[in-house]
Amino acid sequence: MIQLLLAFSLLFSACSSAPTEDIEAKTETAVDPDKVLIVYLSRTNNTKAIADIIHGYMGGTMLALELKEPYPEDYQATVQQVAQENETGFLPPLKTRIDSMESYDVVFVGFPTWGMQLPPPMKSFLKQHDLSGKVIVPFNTNAGYGIGSSFETVKALCPNSKITESFSTRGGLERDGIYLAIKGEKAKKAEAEVKKWLQKIKMLQ
Protein backbone atom coordinates (compact mmCIF):
# COMPACT_ATOMS: atom_id res chain seq x y z
CA MET A 1 0.00 0.00 0.00
CA ILE A 2 2.84 2.34 0.89
CA GLN A 3 4.54 1.54 -2.39
CA LEU A 4 1.31 2.31 -4.25
CA LEU A 5 0.95 5.65 -2.51
CA LEU A 6 4.60 6.49 -3.23
CA ALA A 7 4.16 5.67 -6.92
CA PHE A 8 1.03 7.85 -7.09
CA SER A 9 2.88 10.67 -5.35
CA LEU A 10 5.75 10.51 -7.84
CA LEU A 11 3.32 10.46 -10.77
CA PHE A 12 1.46 13.52 -9.43
CA SER A 13 4.75 15.33 -8.85
CA ALA A 14 5.88 14.64 -12.42
CA CYS A 15 2.62 15.89 -13.85
CA SER A 16 2.58 19.08 -11.82
CA SER A 17 6.17 19.91 -12.79
CA ALA A 18 5.44 19.61 -16.51
CA PRO A 19 5.72 22.87 -18.54
CA THR A 20 2.54 24.92 -18.55
CA GLU A 21 1.39 27.71 -20.80
CA ASP A 22 1.93 31.26 -19.65
CA ILE A 23 -1.26 32.20 -17.82
CA GLU A 24 -0.79 35.88 -18.56
CA ALA A 25 -3.02 36.87 -21.44
CA LYS A 26 -1.10 38.03 -24.48
CA THR A 27 -1.61 41.69 -25.34
CA GLU A 28 -3.42 41.97 -28.64
CA THR A 29 -3.88 44.90 -30.95
CA ALA A 30 -7.34 46.32 -31.45
CA VAL A 31 -6.40 47.21 -35.04
CA ASP A 32 -5.49 45.03 -38.00
CA PRO A 33 -1.67 45.39 -38.31
CA ASP A 34 -2.03 45.58 -42.09
CA LYS A 35 -3.99 48.81 -41.58
CA VAL A 36 -1.31 50.46 -39.42
CA LEU A 37 1.32 52.88 -40.69
CA ILE A 38 4.07 54.30 -38.46
CA VAL A 39 5.84 57.32 -39.96
CA TYR A 40 8.59 59.03 -38.01
CA LEU A 41 11.26 61.72 -38.27
CA SER A 42 14.33 61.12 -36.12
CA ARG A 43 17.67 62.92 -36.18
CA THR A 44 19.23 61.37 -33.05
CA ASN A 45 17.28 58.07 -33.15
CA ASN A 46 15.24 58.81 -30.02
CA THR A 47 11.97 59.14 -31.94
CA LYS A 48 12.97 56.01 -33.86
CA ALA A 49 13.37 54.19 -30.54
CA ILE A 50 9.77 55.02 -29.65
CA ALA A 51 8.62 54.07 -33.15
CA ASP A 52 10.35 50.70 -32.74
CA ILE A 53 8.50 50.12 -29.45
CA ILE A 54 5.16 51.02 -31.04
CA HIS A 55 5.92 48.74 -33.98
CA GLY A 56 6.71 45.92 -31.58
CA TYR A 57 3.21 46.17 -30.09
CA MET A 58 1.19 47.20 -33.14
CA GLY A 59 2.98 45.64 -36.10
CA GLY A 60 2.20 47.39 -39.36
CA THR A 61 4.43 49.29 -41.75
CA MET A 62 7.17 51.55 -40.36
CA LEU A 63 8.80 54.28 -42.45
CA ALA A 64 11.41 56.94 -41.71
CA LEU A 65 10.85 60.33 -43.30
CA GLU A 66 13.75 61.15 -45.61
CA LEU A 67 14.37 64.45 -47.36
CA LYS A 68 15.47 64.90 -50.95
CA GLU A 69 18.11 67.25 -49.55
CA PRO A 70 19.08 66.18 -46.01
CA TYR A 71 19.72 68.76 -43.32
CA PRO A 72 23.35 69.63 -42.53
CA GLU A 73 25.15 67.40 -40.07
CA ASP A 74 26.17 70.50 -38.14
CA TYR A 75 23.59 71.15 -35.43
CA GLN A 76 23.69 74.95 -35.49
CA ALA A 77 23.42 75.03 -39.28
CA THR A 78 20.32 72.84 -39.07
CA VAL A 79 18.81 75.05 -36.36
CA GLN A 80 19.24 78.10 -38.58
CA GLN A 81 17.81 76.35 -41.63
CA VAL A 82 14.76 75.10 -39.72
CA ALA A 83 14.14 78.54 -38.23
CA GLN A 84 14.16 80.03 -41.73
CA GLU A 85 11.81 77.32 -43.02
CA ASN A 86 9.40 77.98 -40.16
CA GLU A 87 9.54 81.72 -40.76
CA THR A 88 8.89 81.46 -44.51
CA GLY A 89 6.54 78.47 -44.42
CA PHE A 90 8.84 76.48 -46.68
CA LEU A 91 8.04 72.76 -46.80
CA PRO A 92 11.12 70.66 -47.66
CA PRO A 93 10.53 68.09 -50.44
CA LEU A 94 10.45 64.52 -49.20
CA LYS A 95 12.24 61.53 -50.65
CA THR A 96 9.79 59.28 -48.80
CA ARG A 97 6.60 58.62 -50.74
CA ILE A 98 3.56 56.57 -49.75
CA ASP A 99 1.45 55.61 -52.74
CA SER A 100 -0.99 53.32 -50.92
CA MET A 101 -2.19 55.63 -48.15
CA GLU A 102 -5.78 54.52 -48.75
CA SER A 103 -4.90 51.06 -47.42
CA TYR A 104 -4.16 52.39 -43.91
CA ASP A 105 -6.74 53.24 -41.25
CA VAL A 106 -4.38 54.26 -38.43
CA VAL A 107 -1.36 56.48 -38.99
CA PHE A 108 1.16 57.01 -36.20
CA VAL A 109 3.24 60.16 -36.74
CA GLY A 110 6.40 60.58 -34.67
CA PHE A 111 8.70 63.57 -34.47
CA PRO A 112 11.03 65.55 -32.21
CA THR A 113 10.26 69.10 -31.11
CA TRP A 114 12.27 71.56 -33.19
CA GLY A 115 12.23 75.20 -32.13
CA MET A 116 9.11 74.43 -30.05
CA GLN A 117 7.29 73.55 -33.29
CA LEU A 118 6.43 70.63 -35.53
CA PRO A 119 9.46 69.93 -37.74
CA PRO A 120 9.02 71.13 -41.36
CA PRO A 121 9.48 67.61 -42.84
CA MET A 122 6.50 66.34 -40.84
CA LYS A 123 4.48 69.33 -42.04
CA SER A 124 5.44 68.29 -45.58
CA PHE A 125 4.22 64.75 -44.96
CA LEU A 126 0.89 65.80 -43.46
CA LYS A 127 0.23 68.26 -46.29
CA GLN A 128 1.21 65.89 -49.09
CA HIS A 129 -1.13 63.07 -48.12
CA ASP A 130 -4.89 62.90 -47.80
CA LEU A 131 -5.50 61.62 -44.28
CA SER A 132 -9.24 62.29 -44.24
CA GLY A 133 -11.17 59.75 -42.16
CA LYS A 134 -8.04 58.20 -40.70
CA VAL A 135 -7.04 57.93 -37.06
CA ILE A 136 -3.88 59.98 -36.48
CA VAL A 137 -1.75 59.01 -33.48
CA PRO A 138 1.01 61.57 -32.68
CA PHE A 139 4.09 60.74 -30.62
CA ASN A 140 7.03 62.93 -29.71
CA THR A 141 10.47 63.07 -28.15
CA ASN A 142 12.04 66.29 -26.96
CA ALA A 143 15.00 67.69 -25.08
CA GLY A 144 12.97 68.46 -21.98
CA TYR A 145 11.35 71.66 -23.19
CA GLY A 146 8.07 69.97 -24.09
CA ILE A 147 5.97 69.68 -27.21
CA GLY A 148 5.53 73.38 -27.97
CA SER A 149 2.87 73.87 -30.64
CA SER A 150 3.64 70.60 -32.45
CA PHE A 151 0.49 68.66 -31.55
CA GLU A 152 -1.74 71.64 -32.28
CA THR A 153 -0.15 71.88 -35.72
CA VAL A 154 -0.88 68.19 -36.36
CA LYS A 155 -4.54 68.86 -35.58
CA ALA A 156 -4.59 71.91 -37.84
CA LEU A 157 -3.07 69.97 -40.75
CA CYS A 158 -5.45 67.02 -40.32
CA PRO A 159 -8.85 68.72 -40.00
CA ASN A 160 -10.78 65.71 -41.32
CA SER A 161 -8.99 63.08 -39.25
CA LYS A 162 -9.56 61.74 -35.76
CA ILE A 163 -6.60 62.75 -33.58
CA THR A 164 -5.96 60.58 -30.54
CA GLU A 165 -4.31 61.56 -27.29
CA SER A 166 -0.59 61.99 -27.98
CA PHE A 167 2.51 60.54 -26.35
CA SER A 168 5.62 62.50 -25.42
CA THR A 169 8.83 61.64 -23.61
CA ARG A 170 12.28 63.10 -23.11
CA GLY A 171 14.95 62.09 -25.59
CA GLY A 172 18.45 63.40 -26.26
CA LEU A 173 19.92 66.90 -26.33
CA GLU A 174 21.93 67.21 -29.51
CA ARG A 175 23.03 70.74 -28.64
CA ASP A 176 25.00 69.33 -25.71
CA GLY A 177 26.24 66.25 -27.55
CA ILE A 178 23.64 63.92 -25.99
CA TYR A 179 22.27 61.80 -28.80
CA LEU A 180 20.46 58.49 -28.29
CA ALA A 181 19.14 58.68 -24.72
CA ILE A 182 16.31 56.14 -24.94
CA LYS A 183 18.33 53.00 -24.32
CA GLY A 184 18.99 50.56 -21.49
CA GLU A 185 16.82 51.16 -18.44
CA LYS A 186 15.32 54.28 -19.99
CA ALA A 187 14.16 52.22 -22.97
CA LYS A 188 12.49 49.71 -20.63
CA LYS A 189 10.71 52.54 -18.84
CA ALA A 190 9.66 54.06 -22.16
CA GLU A 191 8.30 50.69 -23.31
CA ALA A 192 6.08 50.47 -20.22
CA GLU A 193 4.87 54.03 -20.76
CA VAL A 194 4.13 53.39 -24.44
CA LYS A 195 2.18 50.22 -23.64
CA LYS A 196 0.08 52.07 -21.04
CA TRP A 197 -0.60 54.86 -23.55
CA LEU A 198 -1.57 52.43 -26.34
CA GLN A 199 -4.00 50.73 -24.01
CA LYS A 200 -5.44 54.07 -22.91
CA ILE A 201 -6.18 55.12 -26.51
CA LYS A 202 -7.67 51.66 -27.22
CA MET A 203 -4.99 50.54 -29.66
CA LEU A 204 -4.17 47.56 -27.47
CA GLN A 205 -6.72 45.32 -25.81
111-167 per-position pLDDT tens digit:
999 999 999 999 999 999 999 999 999 999 999 999 999 999 999 999 999 999 999
Is 179 contained in some domain?
yes
Dihedrals φ, ψ of 72, to 5°? -60, 150
Is 79 contained in some domain?
yes
Is 170 contained in some domain?
yes
Is 10 contained in some domain?
no
Is 20 contained in some domain?
no
Which 8-state DSSP code applies to residue 2?
H
Q: Is 139 within 8 Å of 108 (Cβ atoms)?
A: yes
Higher pLDDT, residue 27 or 96 = 96
Q: Is 153 within 8 Å of 181 (Cβ atoms)?
A: no
Is 7 contained in some domain?
no
What gap in Å lies between CA 169 and CA 19, rounded to an integer?
39
87-110 tens-digit pLDDT: 999 999 999 989 899 999 999 999
Q: Quickly state the pLDDT bin for 27 (edges 50, 70, 90).
A: low
pTM metric for this prediction: 0.85
Return the CATH number at 64: 3.40.50.360
Nearest to 79 by CA among 120, 48, 132: 120
What gap in Å lies between CA 196 and CA 190, rounded to an integer?
10
Is 112 contained in some domain?
yes
Q: Is 123 within 8 Å of 91 (Cβ atoms)?
A: yes
Total of domains in the chain: 1
Range of the domain at 53: 30-200
- In this structure, the dihedral spanned by the alpha carbons of residues 180, 141, 48 and 123, taken in order and rounded to 10 degrees, is -130
* Mean pLDDT, residues 176-195 taken together: 95
Is 18 contained in some domain?
no
Residue 23's Cβ-side half-sphere holds a number of Cα atoms within 13 Å equal to 2
